[in-house]
Amino acid sequence: MQLPRDYTVVEAGWTKIDTWMNEATKGNSEYKELLLCFAAAVLRGRNDLQKFLHLIGGGGSGKSTFTTLLTALVGESNTATMNLGELEDKHEIARIFGKRLVVLPDQDKAPKKMSNFKRLTGQDRLSGRRLFENGFEYVFGGLTVVTSNFPIFHTNLGSWLTRRVSMIPFDYQCPNHKKRDLMKEFEGELGAFTSYLLSIPETRIEAVLKGIGDRSLSTTVWESQIRSEGLAAWVNEWVIQDSTGSVPIGSNAGEWKVGEDYDATCSTLYGSYALYCQQTKRSAKSPQNFSCELLELTNRTLGWLTEKARVKISGKTVRVIKGLKLRERSDTQLTVEEILEGSMSGDNRSDNQGDNQGDNPKPSSNKGSELGDNLYSNFEVGGCSRLESISNRPVESTNINLSDNCDGAYKGRRQPPTTAPHNLTTVTLPDSVENKNTSNNSSQVVTPVTIPIQQKVSAVPEVVTFAVTSVVPSEINWKTYPYNSNDTYTLLNRANKVKERVLDCSTKNDLIKLLADNKASEPEINWLRENYLSISEKQQLTLIENSTQGNLFKGPEPTPRGEIVEYRLSEIIESIDHEMKRLGWSKEQGRQYLMERYNKKSRLHLTDEELLEFWDYLKNLDKKGDGRVDS
């Protein structure tokens, strides 16, 4: 490949490009390294990696800037720009011959026919034809970049897509006063940037792009699949990995006509899936394709050890899938999405992968008939048949550590609040559980325990360990939650996610962005405020709604003595931040003082008087040593 510019290794540097990449990735070092290694692979023509880049984000987030930067690196003469649908045209395929980079910008959706895109990214031969010339075949020697505002690929395209895609979210929104012609600034740094990319070792490029040493599924890829395809969303919400589990496949889409009648302990997989699609307004797959695509998703994408098998139950041959189970209301296992979010936050991934993974047999091919997997009828009626157990196993109690910093494995899956008639009450777990599922049954039940529940907000003990089951209190009518589902578990899970996202916001602008990204809705936030948030959480939400991204380090204006001044809560918080910065206090020092003075761990728990008192205390301090003075 001939570069379209003079190249010399003696360059000043690529500081401006580096600064922009940090902004575009919001400081995510993994995303930045992936972009750099992909650019290095484009320069070297590493089509053998069989990877393509997919950038997802709204307008003005930097997607086009990165593709333009790649084009400037290799040259416009070495780049082809087109749409996914045009790849099926032989004349358009001929345009790609000899190029190093293919850019597919701002794609709205993936076409049904993707055979040439698959060949393009997989080192397979492409057939092209120039006008008035004979056709020819070739292997594309470059790499491909796709950009879109939303996820566009569906899981039914196959596991090849998951293996080949490197997906990065572009969420950065550049302020209007910072918008400028970046390529003019980058032009003088292209030589130094090229030199750096060529210095990256081949082994590092392969490790980053192919994920060597990290077999975990990308959070972005899985979120994309959940959003675009009902099968992945159903597996995420209603299915659990279980090495000893076994569930009939079924084929009756009308197995559960009324959502309130749904019982995971005696449902077939297809009946559960069809009900989920009905409740979420998605199109369900046909029974003929269901089991094959489910195995493809669980085995190849998620890495579960699942397989199709035939077993005899009460003298009847039943087609089942081993290695999973349907989620019951008492199950506390994390969803796949929550496991991936936990691993991105540094949680121990091995704790979230299910039980006894190594005990599963290797998946074997089943050459039996795929005529809807409807060899079993007892599971397709409204009643639940008591049949012989496929596998008996004890139910293990789950130990959960409850503390203030609950951002470990159970982040986002808090138990619903329970009201009590007195300050302290007890809840006794059921002393028995009916054993009626042929594949999800148990020979033992959790030993009953008594759990104290405190009604008022108070300091939580450092660690409390006990066995719990998921209980949805009758005091909250989850059917009124403004979300498109009739399933209580789905509504509870959605409410917890929205609650976490809302309380993670710092300012009103963050809240507006959350609504704009459709990660929450105003009716949901209002419902949470009225039905689900604690008093301190309501105060935190009010603080967020009243906060703006102003100058955090501007102190309050002096006022005449004796004059009554009204402060907004957000102004006090901003002023406290300013004083702590002036004194050189860390957040840990601030928390330590609050515990010593008020026995509270956060400013959000202080009363208005305590907050003002804390502010005055900081203002009267002189900067010395650790920022404290003798009282």
- pLDDT of residue 143 exceeding 90, the answer is yes
**pLDDT single digits (tens) 320-367:** 999 999 999 888 888 888 887 765 554 333 333 333 333 333 333 343
Q: Are 151 and 297 members of one domain?
A: no
With respect to residue 585, please indicate whether it lies within any of the assigned structural domains.
no
**Which pLDDT band, with edges at 50, 70 and 90, does 22 fall under?**
very high
> Bridge-partner residues for 399, per DSSP?
467
Q: Are 164 and 268 members of one domain?
A: no
Alpha helices by DSSP H, listed for 334-429, are 336-344
Q: Are 114 and 250 members of one domain?
A: no
% the chain with pLDDT above 70 = 69
Q: What share of the chain is helix, strand, coil (3-state, %, to 5)?
A: 40, 10, 45
- pLDDT of residue 615 exceeding 60, the answer is yes
**Which pLDDT band, with edges at 50, 70 and 90, does 568 fall under?**
low
With respect to residue 228, please indicate whether it lies within any of the assigned structural domains.
yes
With respect to residue 312, please indicate whether it lies within any of the assigned structural domains.
yes
- pLDDT of residue 108 exceeding 50, the answer is yes
Higher pLDDT, 485 or 470: 485
Highest mean pLDDT (candidates 137-151, 422-436, 484-498):
137-151
% the chain with pLDDT above 90 = 25
With respect to residue 272, please indicate whether it lies within any of the assigned structural domains.
yes
Q: Are 324 and 254 members of one domain?
A: yes
Predicted local confidence at residue 134, as pLDDT: 87
Averaged pLDDT, 99-116: 89
Look at residues 157, 179, 210 and tell me which one is the last residue of a structural domain.
210
With respect to residue 437, please indicate whether it lies within any of the assigned structural domains.
no
**Which pLDDT band, with edges at 50, 70 and 90, does 569 fall under?**
low
Averaged pLDDT, 456-480: 51
Q: How far apart are CA 33 and CA 128, in angstroms?
A: 35
And the tokens for 394?
């004890």
Under 8 Å between Cβ of 42 and 175: no
- pLDDT of residue 139 exceeding 80, the answer is yes
**pLDDT single digits (tens) 503-548:** 888 888 788 878 877 788 888 899 999 889 988 888 888 888 886 5
Number of domains in the chain: 3
Predicted local confidence at residue 559, as pLDDT: 41
Q: How far apart are CA 46 and CA 42, in angstroms?
A: 6
- pLDDT of residue 86 exceeding 70, the answer is yes
Higher pLDDT, 70 or 60: 70
DSSP letter at 191 equals H
- pLDDT of residue 423 exceeding 60, the answer is no
Look at residues 522, 546, 570 and tell me which one is the last residue of a structural domain.
546
- pLDDT of residue 565 exceeding 70, the answer is no
Question: What DSSP line would sit under 309-344, residue for residue?
Answer: EEEEETTEEEEEEEEEEEPPTT--PPPHHHHHHHHH
Cα-to-chain-centroid distance, residue 434: 35
User: Which string of b and e fits 418-447 if b means at least 16 CB within 10 Å?
Assistant: eeeeeeeeeeebeeebebebbbbbeeebbe
| Residue with the two structure tokens 């959790």 | 446
Cα-to-chain-centroid distance, residue 18: 27
Higher pLDDT, 586 or 239: 239
Q: Are 65 and 127 members of one domain?
A: yes
With respect to residue 388, please indicate whether it lies within any of the assigned structural domains.
no
Higher pLDDT, 600 or 48: 48
Q: Which residues contact 84 (CB under 8 A, 6 or more apart)?
A: 104, 107, 110, 111, 114, 117, 146
And the tokens for 622?
């002189």
Q: Are 150 and 269 members of one domain?
A: no
Mean pLDDT of the chain: 74
Q: How far apart are CA 245 and CA 389, in angstroms?
A: 11
Averaged pLDDT, 87-106: 92
Predicted local confidence at residue 353, as pLDDT: 38
Q: Are 273 and 165 members of one domain?
A: no
Name the residue range of residue 145's domain: 15-210
With respect to residue 594, please indicate whether it lies within any of the assigned structural domains.
no
Q: Are 88 and 205 members of one domain?
A: yes
- pLDDT of residue 627 exceeding 50, the answer is no
Output the domain CATH number for residue 206. Answer: 3.40.50.300
**pLDDT single digits (tens) 260-299:** 788 888 899 999 999 999 888 888 888 988 998 899 888 8
Q: Are 263 and 192 members of one domain?
A: no
Higher pLDDT, 219 or 231: 231
Averaged pLDDT, 201-207: 93
With respect to residue 283, please indicate whether it lies within any of the assigned structural domains.
yes
Q: Are 256 and 153 members of one domain?
A: no
Look at residues 186, 210, 234 and tell me which one is the last residue of a structural domain.
210
Q: Are 146 and 229 members of one domain?
A: no
Question: What DSSP line would sit under 76-129, residue for residue?
Answer: GGGEEE--TGGGGSHHHHHHHTT-SEEEE-S-----S--HHHHHHHTT-EEEEE
Q: Are 172 and 239 members of one domain?
A: no
Which strands, in side-by-side order, build the sheet including 79-81? 79-81, 101-104, 143-148, 52-56, 165-169
